């Protein structure tokens, strides 16, 4: 869940200073962790600077102007797993001689065994992290290889690469690791079940050069990062590393190889967003910007997939795959917000007569949820790097099931690990709390459910097409800010819904607790009277999602009356069809539509409630405490 950045200037170019590249890259990666940050500059000497706290703490401690020189460097922003956020636990970590510096994202599962082994060799560890064993392992193997044959003709030490590979060979777990050495202007890196991507800036603008193969040292620079936003300002040309691939990059270029050292030809791809996509565009927070980007994100999600004139939905990515009969269960696996999307997707399929279930990915095993050759396992992960979801998908693959990744990230681990990939097309999302990606997941699953069942009416297609404009209407007319300001200071906040609105209630509560730090819970509306009602008081607002005027709406109104009788403030999110407003203290309206699309619209109002309560309370909205955007550890 940590963020890694690396940079090497081309030997043939007038390259920018490494410290500026590293600090700018880390600022774009803080959504992955912001407990501490650090950089290592590997020029004639190896200089390491790191600090507890957010990136600004590191920057304020540096004399950046004195560090400005072309060269090589790596940086890291941390989300703590082993040891609290302190200066000592911050990355990069070095050996005691300061010859090697390492940054790491992931979990080293056998670190205690390695730590005990190294302690017996005389090593004294300073930090509580699992990462610190890596530079000491590298140092151990360096000492045993000092007299090995020397330097590559294209730059970079054979000794250093061998020591790095031997150390990695000892590690068990998930990781993306990058290392630099004193006196060697080269970065050595590898990955396993944790993201790592190269950026290639050639001819000075990042947009030129050949489309395939290894670098030949064109002008520009070479970047290494956990995610593309770290270097998108400089180049849109990328190489995605696969598990157990190694990369060596220096001023002469880069080389990717397998675990045996055999060179691998990699395809250079072009990403389809630019630096402006990751900025705030005048909004106070990334989250608010991304909430307001939902109309355009949803239009992009539907583009080319919904044909109103023909009355059809088409998913070109899946081709004939969606045309088969799904007699066997469809199993959704996901975590957090994506799990709420999975619940929504499973309910959509159930409505269309297809057996579907949703399981939290960390609880998923093929022993518990049997998989055979006819089973479709759908992993939902906005980043495509969620560790629990990736493990579940890989287990399903081994059991013989067909796997489908529903993700926002082209080239992500999930997209590459699965038999099929379906992209939600939400664009970059920087705020830790998912907003436009959840709405895009909802709409993508709505299209998927129609496609696999071949069941969609002309009215439903029209409703789908209207969703982006209806979201815009909500954003322009909402009274969420006023309602939020009235309710700040309440003891707890409950969210209820039935049917397709139950996952929306869960997501509303999750979004609320993520950024306000207040107690919030989501319930199936009918479950209130089976225990949670004991917690309801006059200081416990209840948010209820009620649309349409059918049996589901009437039953939810009965639940609203239950909390009304306990003097709890009631906030309803409604299209007004059921006359539920008469039982509410506050009303958040949505345009009238069908139940499936209404779940997308209702979610927007609950996002805004969470945002405005958090904003009124002065919370850190884009970087909520203890959380990170991409959860790459189990």
Cis peptide before 17 (omega within 30 of 0): no
Three-state secondary structure call for residue 545: strand
Q: Which residues, 6 or more positions from 133, have their beta carbon under 8 angstroms from its beta carbon?
A: 108, 111, 114, 115, 118, 125
Q: Which of 97, 83, 142, 632 is nearest to 381 (CA)?
A: 632
DSSP structure class, residue 291: H
The position carrying tokens 């005691």 is 96
**E strand residue ranges, 408-525:** 420-423, 493-497, 520-524
Residues 14, 11: Cα–Cα separation, whole Å: 8
**What's CA 226's distance to the chain center, in Å?**
11
CA-angle at 113, arms to 111 and 119, nearest 5° = 95
DSSP 596-629: HHHHHHHHHHHHHHHHHHHHHTT--SSS-TT--S
Question: Is 629 marked active-site?
Answer: yes
Q: Of the candidates 91, 115, 114, 113, which has an alpha carbon nearest to the alpha carbon of residue 104?
A: 91
Q: Catalytic pick from 2, 335, 418, 597?
A: 2
3-state secondary structure of 175: strand
Question: How far apart, in whole angstroms, are the C-alpha atoms of residue 429 and residue 283?
Answer: 14
Both tokens assigned to 445: 């699953």
Backbone angles phi, psi at 198, to 5 degrees: -95, 145
Give the H/E segment covering residue 197. Answer: strand 197-202
| Rounded Cα gap, residues 324 and 57, in angstroms | 55
Question: How far apart, in whole angstroms, are the C-alpha atoms of residue 518 and residue 616?
Answer: 13
Catalytic-residue membership of 335: no
Helices 436-453 and 595-616 pack at an angle, to 10 degrees, of 170
State which H helix or E strand residue 377 sits in.
Answer: strand 376-381
Which segments of 334-410 does DSSP mark as H helices, in order? 336-351, 387-398
Catalytic residue among 289, 511, 513, 629: 629
Residue 615, SS3? Answer: helix
What's the N-to-C CA distance of the chain in angstroms? 10
CA angle, 56 as apex, 53 and 60 as ends, to 5°?
Answer: 105
The size of the chain, in residues, is: 634
Question: Percentages helix, strand, coil for the chain, rounded to the nearest 5?
Answer: 35, 25, 40
242/414 Cα distance (integer angstroms): 11
Beta bridge partners of 524: 497
**Residues with catalytic annotation?**
2, 629
């Amino acid at each position: 869940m940590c963020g890694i950045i690396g940079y090497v200037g081309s030997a043939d170019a007038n390259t920018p200073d490494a410290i500026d590249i590293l600090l700018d890259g880390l600022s774009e990666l803080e959504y992955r962790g912001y407990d501490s940050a650090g950089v290592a500059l590997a020029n004639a000497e190896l200089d390491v600077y790191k600090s507890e706290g957010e990136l600004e703490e590191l920057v304020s401690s540096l004399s950046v102007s004195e560090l400005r020189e072309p060269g090589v460097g790596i940086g890291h922003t941390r989300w703590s797993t082993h040891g609290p956020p302190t200066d000592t636990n911050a990355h990069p970590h070095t050996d005691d001689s300061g010859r090697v510096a390492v940054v790491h994202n992931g979990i080293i599962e056998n670190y205690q065994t390695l730590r005990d082994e190294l302690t017996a060799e005389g090593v004294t560890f300073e930090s509580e992290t699992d990462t610190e064993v890596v530079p000491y392992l590298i140092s151990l193997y360096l000492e045993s290889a000092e007299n090995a044959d020397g330097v590559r003709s294209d730059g970079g030490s054979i000794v250093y690469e061998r020591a790095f590979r031997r150390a990695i060979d000892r590690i068990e777990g998930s990781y993306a690791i990058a290392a630099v050495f004193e006196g060697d202007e080269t970065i050595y890196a590898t990955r396993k079940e944790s993201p790592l991507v190269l950026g290639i800036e050639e001819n000075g603008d990042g947009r030129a050069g050949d489309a395939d193969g290894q670098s030949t040292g064109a002008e520009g620079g070479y970047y290494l990062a956990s995610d593309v936003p770290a270097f998108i300002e400089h180049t849109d040309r990328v190489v995605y590393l696969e598990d157990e691939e190694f990369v060596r990059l220096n001023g002469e270029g880069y080389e990717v190889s397998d675990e045996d050292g055999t060179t691998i030809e990699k395809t250079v791809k072009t990403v389809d967003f630019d630096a402006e996509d990751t900025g705030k565009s005048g909004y106070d927070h990334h989250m608010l910007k991304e909430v307001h980007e939902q109309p355009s994100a949803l239009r992009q999600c539907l583009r080319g997939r919904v044909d109103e004139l023909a009355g059809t939905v088409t998913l070109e990515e899946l081709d004939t795959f969606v045309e088969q009969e799904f007699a066997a269960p469809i199993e959704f696996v996901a975590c957090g917000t994506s799990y709420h999307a999975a619940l929504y997707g499973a309910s959509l399929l159930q409505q269309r007569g297809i057996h579907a279930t949703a399981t939290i990915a960390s609880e998923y095993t093929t022993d518990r949820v049997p998989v055979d050759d006819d089973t479709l396992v759908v992993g939902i992960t906005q980043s495509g790097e969620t560790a629990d979801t990736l493990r579940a998908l890989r287990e399903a693959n081994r059991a013989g099931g067909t796997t489908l990744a529903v993700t926002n990230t082209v080239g992500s681990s999930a997209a590459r690990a699965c038999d099929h990939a379906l992209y939600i097309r939400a664009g970059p999302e920087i705020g830790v709390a998912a907003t436009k990606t959840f709405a895009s997941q909802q709409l993508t699953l709505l299209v998927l459910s129609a496609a696999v069942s071949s069941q969609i009416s002309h009215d439903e297609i029209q409703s789908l097409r209207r969703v982006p404009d209806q979201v815009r209407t909500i954003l322009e007319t909402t009274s969420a800010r006023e309602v939020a300001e009235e309710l700040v200071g309440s003891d707890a906040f409950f969210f209820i819904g039935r049917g397709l609105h139950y996952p929306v209630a869960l997501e509303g509560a999750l979004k609320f607790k993520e950024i306000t730090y207040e107690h919030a819970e989501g319930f199936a509306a009918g479950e209130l009277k089976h225990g949670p009602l004991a917690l309801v008081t006059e200081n416990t607002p209840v948010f209820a999602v009620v649309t349409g005027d059918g049996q589901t709406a009437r039953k939810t109104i009965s639940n609203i009356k239950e909390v009304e009788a306990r003097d709890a403030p009631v906030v309803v999110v409604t299209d007004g069809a059921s006359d539920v407003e008469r039982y509410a203290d506050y009303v958040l309206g949505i345009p009238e539509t069908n139940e499936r699309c209404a779940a997308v619209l209702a979610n927007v109002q609950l996002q805004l409630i969470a945002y405005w309560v958090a904003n009124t309370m002065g919370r850190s909205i884009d970087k909520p405490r203890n959380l990170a955007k991409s959860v790459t550890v189990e």
